[in-house]
Structure 1
Amino acid sequence: MERRRWLKVAILICLFAVSSGRELKAKHTDHIPIYNHTLATILVEYASAVYMSDLTELFTWTCSRCDDLTEGFEIIELIVDIQHCLQGFVGVAKDLNAVVIAFRGTQEHSIQNWIEDLFWKQLDLSYPGMPDAMVHHGFYYAYHNTTIRPGVINAVKRARELYGDIKIMLTGHSMGGAMASLCALDLKVNHEAQDVQVLTFGQPRIGNAVFASYYSQLVPNTIRVVNEHDIVAHLPPYYPRFPQKTYHHFPREVWLYNVELGSLVYVVEKVCDSSGEDPDCSRSVTGNSISDHLVYFGIELMGETWRSCRIVMNPNIEKYGRTDLNGNFILSKDPAILKLNSHSNVGSNFV
C-alpha cells in the first residue's frame, strides 16, 4: 500500500514537471459577463439551501436556509434522485425576475474520498455535437442520465408557460456547479432558452479546452466563484502540455482572497481574464483547502450531517410527489402567479 502511494506521488511530480511549458489557449467569446456581487450573495444562499435534507421544509421554503436574501422564493419542482444521491430544485424568484435552478453538490460520506477520486478522473466521453470536445462521463452522467434532467426541463417548461421566455439563473456548489453548467448548455442547445445565466461556487473542471471554447460561446453569461485555496476548483488537474486530454476551466472566474492590512482583513473579489485558466487568479496558489471549499461569503455549502443521502419528509407532503420504480421522486406544484418586476436591478449587470 505504501509503495503504491509513493508511485502515485512520483507520477504526479512528473506530470507537473512536464506541464510547465507552453500553455494551450482556449478560444472564447468576446462577450464579457459583468460580475455582480449582490447577485453572487443571493445565489450562494440558493446553492446552500439545496443541501437541506428536510424536504418538507425545502419544498415549502420554510427551512433554516430559506430566508434572508431568498425570502419569498417559490419552488415549482424538487427533484430527488435517491439512486444516485442527487438533488435539485426549480422555482421562481420575484426579486430576480427569474427562474432559479439549483443543484446539490456531492453528499459522499467522506468528502476527502470524493476529492481523492476526483484527482484521478480522466476525460473519457466525447460531448455530442461538439467535435473534439471531451468531458468526464461522471459529471455528464449525473445530469444527463438520471432523473434530474427530465425533472428540471419539465419545471422550466411549466415556468415558461406561465411567464413567457423568462430569465433563467442556474447555480450550484462543487459537483452541483458542474451539473448547473451542463444544464445551462442543455437549455441553450436543446431547448431554445435565450436568457441563461450561470453562477457557481467551487466548481471542478468538467471538460477539455475544446469543450470550454464551445461552452463559452454558447453560454457566455457564466461566472465561477473560487474561494481562496479551494481544493475542488483545482480538480481534476490542469496539464497545459496535454491539450486534448487535460481538463480546462471555462471563463469567467472570480477569485476571492484575503488581504491583511495591519489588524484588518479585506476580502478581494478579483475578476479574472477570459482564458478560464488565468495564472494570476486561483491558479497562482495551491489548491489544498477543504475548509475554503465549504464556506463562501460566510455561507455553509454542505449538508447538515455527513450521512450520505439522508432525507426527511412529512407524509402530508407526499400528495405532491410521484415516484418511479427505483424510489426516485419529484415533488411538484403549480406556482402562484407572481407579479414579476420587469425592471429588477438585481442581476441586471450580469448580462
Structure 2
Amino acid sequence: MERWLHAAVLMCLLVLCSGRELKTKSAPIYNSTLANTLAEYTSAVYTNDLTQLFTWTCEKCGDLTKGFEVIELIIDVKNCLEAYVGFAKDMNAVVVAFRGTQENSIQNWIEDLFWKQLDLDYPGMPEAKVHSGFYSAYHNTTLRDGVVHGIQKTREAYGNIPIMVTGHSMGGAMASFCALDLIVNYGSEDVTLMTFGQPRIGNAVFASHFKKYLANAIRVTNAHDIVPHLPPYYHYFLQKTYHHFPREVWVHNVGLDSLVYPIEEICDDSGEDPRCSRSVSGNSVQDHIHYLGISMHSESRGSCRIVTDDNMLRYKIGTVDGTIVLSKEPGLSVDQQHSAQ
C-alpha cells in the first residue's frame, strides 16, 4: 500500500510539472530532442585534441551529432577561450558552440563573477548593463571575428540557413552575447539560442531587451548547479542586481524515496522564476558539469590544455594575438581539402 501511495504522489508531481508546457502557435518553445542534441555539441567543444574535434572524430562527436562538419575552429590560447562553427546536415543549420570553464578552475572563476557591470553599447538599449568579464570574453577577443567569419562562410556555401548557438557555463554567457550580436549588429535572422548552466550576464533592463530579440531563448539549468545562481540576485537592489533573461528550463528530480524521476520543468517568462532553480540552493559543482546525462568538462585536468596533430597546421589561417584558427572549405572533408591543396 505504501508503495502504491508513493507511486500516486509521483504521478501527481509529474502531472503538475508537465502541465506547464509552453507552446507558440506553431510549435513548443522547448524541444527535448534539440536540447539533447545541442548538449552533445556543447560537450564536444571540451575535447582537448583539436585534430579529433576539427575532423569530428572525437569520442563525444557521435550519436545525435554524427556527420557534423566543422568549418572553423577558433582557439584563443591566451585567454583560454574556444568555439567552433560548422554545418549540421540533419538539421540544415549552422551550429556555433562555445567552451566553458575547465572543472578544476571553476572555484577561481566563481570568485571572478563579482566583477562590475558595464554599460552595453548596443543601439536602442538604454540603461542596459552587462557583466564586463563575460562581455569582454566575447566582444574584446579574437573569438568574435572568428565565429562571425565561420558563420558567413558556412551560409555562403549552404544558403541562408538557421543559426543555432549554444554553450555551457561561461561558454553559455558568450553564446548569449553572440546570439544577440548576430541579430542586433549583423541583422541575422532565424537565430536559436540554448545554453546550459549559464550564469547571469546583465541587469533586469538588459534581460528585458534580450527577451525582445530572442523571445524563444532557452537556459537549461540542472538541479543544484552553482553557476546559474551567480552573480548573486539581490532582491532588494533590483536596479543594480544581475537578472537572468527568460526562459529557464530546470532539470531536476521529483518523487519519494526510491521512486525518483527526472523532469524538465519549463519556467515562467520572468527569468527569475522562484519555483525553478531559485527554489533550491546553488551549491553543487557536480550538477554543473553534467547536463542531461552528458559530461560537460575536459578530459584533462589542465586549465587550458590543447593537443593537435602537426598535419592540422596546414589548416591554420591565423595566429593573431595568440589565437589559432583552423579553417576549411565547406563540403570538403579534411582529406579532400588536403588533396586539393
TM bucket normalised to smaller: 0.7 to 0.9
Residue 197 of structure 1 corresponds to 192
Q: Note if contact 2:103-2:289 (Cα within 8 Å) is conserved in structure 1.
A: no
Residues in 2 aligned to 1:127 and 1:277: alpha-carbon distance in whole angstroms: 25
Residue 342 of structure 1 corresponds to none
Alignment of 1:179-218 (within 5 A): 179-218=174-213
Residues in 2 aligned to 1:337 and 1:280: alpha-carbon distance in whole angstroms: 48
Residue 221 (structure 1) aligned with residue 234 (structure 2): no
Residue 112 (structure 1) aligned with residue 107 (structure 2): yes
Q: Note if contact 1:139-1:175 (Cα within 8 Å) is conserved in structure 2.
A: yes
Bigger relative contact order (CA 8 A; separation at least 6): 1
SS of equivalent to 1:191: coil
The CA deviation at 1:262 is 4.6
Residue 171 of structure 1 corresponds to 166
Provide the aligned C-alpha RMSD in A. Answer: 1.8
Residue 78 of structure 2 corresponds to 83
Alignment of 1:141-290 (within 5 A): 141-290=136-285
Over residues 205-252 of structure 1, what are the superposed CA-to-partner deviations in whole Å (9 max), with x where a residue is unaligned?
000000001111011220000000110000000112222211000000
Count of aligned positions = 308
Alignment-mate amino acid for residue 30 of structure 2: Y
Over residues 53-87 of structure 1, what are the superposed CA-to-partner deviations in whole Å (9 max), with x where a residue is unaligned?
10000000000000111000000100000111000
Residue 121 (structure 1) aligned with residue 121 (structure 2): no
Residue 127 of structure 2 corresponds to 132
| Counterpart selection for 1:63 from 58, 61, 72 | 58
The CA deviation at 1:109 is 4.7
Residues in 1 aligned to 2:293 and 2:276: alpha-carbon distance in whole angstroms: 21
Give ranges in structure 1 of 5+ residues lacking alignment: 1-29, 339-351
Q: Note if contact 1:33-1:220 (Cα within 8 Å) is conserved in structure 2.
A: no
Over residues 93-118 of structure 1, what are the superposed CA-to-partner deviations in whole Å (9 max), with x where a residue is unaligned?
01111100000001375211212332
Over residues 144-176 of structure 1, what are the superposed CA-to-partner deviations in whole Å (9 max), with x where a residue is unaligned?
111110001011111121222210001100000
The CA deviation at 1:308 is 1.3
Residue 43 of structure 1 corresponds to 38
Q: What is the TM-score when the length of structure 1 is the normalising length?
A: 0.84
Q: Note if contact 1:228-1:258 (Cα within 8 Å) is conserved in structure 2.
A: yes
Residues in 2 aligned to 1:322 and 1:46: alpha-carbon distance in whole angstroms: 24
SS of equivalent to 2:322: coil
Alignment of 1:5-20 (within 5 A): none
Residue 72 of structure 1 corresponds to 67
Over residues 9-45 of structure 1, what are the superposed CA-to-partner deviations in whole Å (9 max), with x where a residue is unaligned?
xxxxxxxxxxxxxxxxxxxxx9996110000000000
Over residues 179-210 of structure 1, what are the superposed CA-to-partner deviations in whole Å (9 max), with x where a residue is unaligned?
00100001001111110000110000000000
SS of equivalent to 2:167: strand
Residue 334 (structure 1) aligned with residue 322 (structure 2): no
Q: What is the TM-score when the length of structure 2 is the normalising length?
A: 0.87
Residues in 2 aligned to 1:324 and 1:226: alpha-carbon distance in whole angstroms: 35
Residues in 1 aligned to 2:235 and 2:121: alpha-carbon distance in whole angstroms: 20
Residue 291 (structure 1) aligned with residue 286 (structure 2): yes
Residues in 2 aligned to 1:286 and 1:263: alpha-carbon distance in whole angstroms: 22
The CA deviation at 1:270 is 0.5
SS of equivalent to 1:326: helix
Residues in 2 aligned to 1:93 and 1:178: alpha-carbon distance in whole angstroms: 22
Give ranges in structure 2 of 5+ residues lacking alignment: 1-23, 334-341
